[in-house]
Amino acid sequence: MNCRVVVEAAVPVFDVETEDEAIRIAISKTGEMLNPDLNYVEINMGERTSPSGEELPPAFIAADEALVALELEMTVFNVEREEHASRIARKEIGQRLENIPLEVIVVEVIDDEDESESEDETTDDANDDGDAIDELDLGDESLEDGDDDVSGESESTDDVLPEFEDLVE
Protein backbone atom coordinates (compact mmCIF):
# COMPACT_ATOMS: atom_id res chain seq x y z
CA MET A 1 0.00 0.00 0.00
CA ASN A 2 1.22 3.51 -0.85
CA CYS A 3 0.16 6.64 1.04
CA ARG A 4 0.35 10.40 0.54
CA VAL A 5 1.20 12.06 3.85
CA VAL A 6 0.83 15.78 4.61
CA VAL A 7 2.73 17.10 7.63
CA GLU A 8 2.30 20.60 9.07
CA ALA A 9 5.48 22.35 10.21
CA ALA A 10 5.81 25.51 12.30
CA VAL A 11 8.92 27.22 10.91
CA PRO A 12 10.42 30.15 12.87
CA VAL A 13 11.77 33.06 10.82
CA PHE A 14 13.72 36.01 12.21
CA ASP A 15 14.16 39.67 11.15
CA VAL A 16 11.12 39.95 8.87
CA GLU A 17 8.69 42.80 8.36
CA THR A 18 5.90 41.39 6.18
CA GLU A 19 3.99 38.13 5.98
CA ASP A 20 5.01 37.55 2.36
CA GLU A 21 8.67 37.96 3.25
CA ALA A 22 8.29 35.54 6.16
CA ILE A 23 6.61 32.94 3.92
CA ARG A 24 9.30 33.19 1.22
CA ILE A 25 12.09 32.86 3.77
CA ALA A 26 10.40 29.94 5.54
CA ILE A 27 9.93 28.02 2.27
CA SER A 28 13.53 28.70 1.27
CA LYS A 29 14.87 27.73 4.69
CA THR A 30 12.84 24.51 4.71
CA GLY A 31 13.92 23.65 1.17
CA GLU A 32 17.58 24.06 2.12
CA MET A 33 17.17 21.75 5.12
CA LEU A 34 15.36 19.06 3.10
CA ASN A 35 17.50 19.10 -0.05
CA PRO A 36 19.24 17.16 -1.49
CA ASP A 37 18.18 14.17 0.65
CA LEU A 38 14.42 14.77 0.49
CA ASN A 39 14.01 16.71 -2.76
CA TYR A 40 10.76 14.78 -3.43
CA VAL A 41 8.95 16.51 -0.53
CA GLU A 42 6.59 19.22 -1.74
CA ILE A 43 6.50 22.43 0.32
CA ASN A 44 3.27 24.47 0.39
CA MET A 45 1.86 27.29 2.50
CA GLY A 46 -0.22 26.03 5.37
CA GLU A 47 -3.75 27.06 6.17
CA ARG A 48 -4.69 28.61 9.51
CA THR A 49 -8.10 29.49 10.85
CA SER A 50 -9.24 31.37 13.90
CA PRO A 51 -11.52 29.69 16.48
CA SER A 52 -14.48 31.41 14.82
CA GLY A 53 -13.57 29.85 11.45
CA GLU A 54 -12.05 32.95 9.84
CA GLU A 55 -9.09 32.27 7.49
CA LEU A 56 -5.76 33.65 8.67
CA PRO A 57 -2.50 34.10 6.75
CA PRO A 58 0.02 31.28 7.23
CA ALA A 59 2.49 33.60 9.00
CA PHE A 60 2.16 35.18 12.43
CA ILE A 61 4.54 38.11 13.01
CA ALA A 62 5.47 39.63 16.37
CA ALA A 63 8.54 41.79 17.14
CA ASP A 64 10.08 41.17 13.68
CA GLU A 65 9.93 37.42 14.20
CA ALA A 66 7.47 35.09 12.49
CA LEU A 67 6.08 31.63 12.89
CA VAL A 68 5.06 30.26 9.49
CA ALA A 69 2.74 27.29 8.94
CA LEU A 70 3.95 25.10 6.05
CA GLU A 71 2.55 21.87 4.69
CA LEU A 72 5.10 19.25 3.65
CA GLU A 73 3.73 16.53 1.39
CA MET A 74 5.42 13.26 0.51
CA THR A 75 4.46 9.83 -0.80
CA VAL A 76 5.43 6.79 1.28
CA PHE A 77 5.62 3.47 -0.58
CA ASN A 78 5.08 -0.12 0.56
CA VAL A 79 3.60 0.47 4.01
CA GLU A 80 1.40 -1.86 5.99
CA ARG A 81 -1.11 0.73 7.23
CA GLU A 82 -1.70 4.47 7.44
CA GLU A 83 -0.15 4.83 10.90
CA HIS A 84 3.05 3.27 9.58
CA ALA A 85 3.13 5.80 6.71
CA SER A 86 2.67 8.75 9.08
CA ARG A 87 5.51 7.55 11.34
CA ILE A 88 7.84 7.15 8.36
CA ALA A 89 7.02 10.64 7.04
CA ARG A 90 7.49 12.28 10.46
CA LYS A 91 10.80 10.48 10.96
CA GLU A 92 12.21 11.29 7.51
CA ILE A 93 11.17 14.95 7.58
CA GLY A 94 11.86 15.41 11.31
CA GLN A 95 15.47 14.23 10.97
CA ARG A 96 16.22 17.10 8.58
CA LEU A 97 14.10 19.78 10.29
CA GLU A 98 15.69 20.01 13.71
CA ASN A 99 13.80 21.96 16.41
CA ILE A 100 10.74 22.43 14.17
CA PRO A 101 7.48 20.97 15.49
CA LEU A 102 5.63 18.66 13.10
CA GLU A 103 2.09 17.35 13.08
CA VAL A 104 0.58 14.86 10.63
CA ILE A 105 -2.52 16.41 9.06
CA VAL A 106 -3.57 13.97 6.34
CA VAL A 107 -2.74 10.38 5.45
CA GLU A 108 -4.37 9.38 2.18
CA VAL A 109 -4.15 5.91 0.63
CA ILE A 110 -3.17 6.03 -3.03
CA ASP A 111 -5.16 3.62 -5.19
CA ASP A 112 -3.30 0.96 -7.12
CA GLU A 113 -5.51 1.80 -10.11
CA ASP A 114 -3.69 5.14 -10.47
CA GLU A 115 -0.41 3.27 -10.66
CA SER A 116 -1.68 0.86 -13.32
CA GLU A 117 -2.93 3.80 -15.39
CA SER A 118 0.48 5.46 -15.19
CA GLU A 119 2.09 2.20 -16.29
CA ASP A 120 -0.25 2.13 -19.31
CA GLU A 121 0.77 5.70 -20.16
CA THR A 122 4.43 4.70 -19.89
CA THR A 123 3.81 1.85 -22.32
CA ASP A 124 2.11 4.26 -24.74
CA ASP A 125 5.06 6.65 -24.43
CA ALA A 126 7.44 3.81 -25.25
CA ASN A 127 5.46 3.08 -28.41
CA ASP A 128 5.56 6.76 -29.35
CA ASP A 129 9.33 6.78 -28.91
CA GLY A 130 9.60 3.83 -31.26
CA ASP A 131 7.74 5.80 -33.95
CA ALA A 132 10.14 8.70 -33.48
CA ILE A 133 13.09 6.36 -33.94
CA ASP A 134 11.57 5.06 -37.20
CA GLU A 135 11.25 8.64 -38.43
CA LEU A 136 14.89 9.29 -37.54
CA ASP A 137 15.93 6.21 -39.47
CA LEU A 138 14.11 7.58 -42.54
CA GLY A 139 15.92 10.88 -42.07
CA ASP A 140 19.28 9.09 -42.12
CA GLU A 141 18.39 7.49 -45.47
CA SER A 142 17.90 10.92 -46.98
CA LEU A 143 21.46 11.81 -45.95
CA GLU A 144 22.78 8.93 -47.96
CA ASP A 145 21.22 10.44 -51.08
CA GLY A 146 23.71 13.34 -50.92
CA ASP A 147 21.50 15.91 -49.15
CA ASP A 148 22.84 18.36 -46.57
CA ASP A 149 23.76 17.01 -43.14
CA VAL A 150 21.47 17.18 -40.09
CA SER A 151 22.68 20.62 -38.94
CA GLY A 152 21.67 22.14 -42.28
CA GLU A 153 25.25 23.09 -43.20
CA SER A 154 26.56 22.29 -46.65
CA GLU A 155 30.05 21.41 -47.85
CA SER A 156 30.69 25.07 -48.73
CA THR A 157 31.27 25.93 -45.04
CA ASP A 158 34.86 24.70 -45.36
CA ASP A 159 35.63 27.81 -47.44
CA VAL A 160 34.11 30.18 -44.89
CA LEU A 161 36.47 29.37 -42.02
CA PRO A 162 40.21 29.85 -42.61
CA GLU A 163 42.62 27.09 -41.76
CA PHE A 164 44.54 27.27 -38.47
CA GLU A 165 47.85 27.68 -40.27
CA ASP A 166 46.48 30.66 -42.21
CA LEU A 167 45.44 32.31 -38.93
CA VAL A 168 48.92 31.83 -37.42
CA GLU A 169 50.62 33.53 -40.42
Same domain, 89 and 140: no
Question: Is 71 within a domain?
Answer: yes
Residues 91 and 121 in one domain: no
Domain annotation covers residue 63: yes
pLDDT in tens, 6-39: 999 999 999 999 999 999 999 999 999 998 888 8
Residue 105 lies in a domain: yes
Whether residue 116 sits in one domain with residue 106: no
CA distance 73 to 106: 9
Element (H, E) at 12: strand 2-14
Q: Is residue 81 domain-shared with residue 128, that is, in the same domain?
A: no
What single-letter amino acid sits at 121?
E
Any idea what the CATH number is for the domain that residue 81 is in? 3.30.70
Residue 115 and residue 98 share a domain: no
| 125 and 62 housed in the same domain | no
Span 71-130, pLDDT tens digits: 999 999 999 999 999 999 999 999 999 899 999 999 999 976 555 454 444 444 444 444
The per-residue pLDDT for 38 is: 87
Q: Let me know whether 74 and 125 are in one domain.
A: no
Q: Are strands 59-62 and 55-56 parallel, antiparallel or unpaired?
A: unpaired
> Domain total for the chain?
2
Q: pLDDT (tens digit, 9 = 90+) per residue, 60-71?
A: 999 999 999 999
Contact present, 74 and 44 (Cβ < 8 Å): no
| pLDDT at residue 156 tops 80 | no
Give dist(CA 47, CA 149) in Å, integer: 57
Please indicate, yes or no, if residue 39 is contained in any of the structural domains: yes
> Which of 128, 132, 150 minimizes the C-alpha distance to 141?
150
CB 41 within 8 A of CB 93: yes
- Given pLDDT bands bounded at 50, 70 and 90, which one contains residue 167? low
Both 60 and 137 in one domain: the answer is: no
Residue 139, domain extent: 111-145
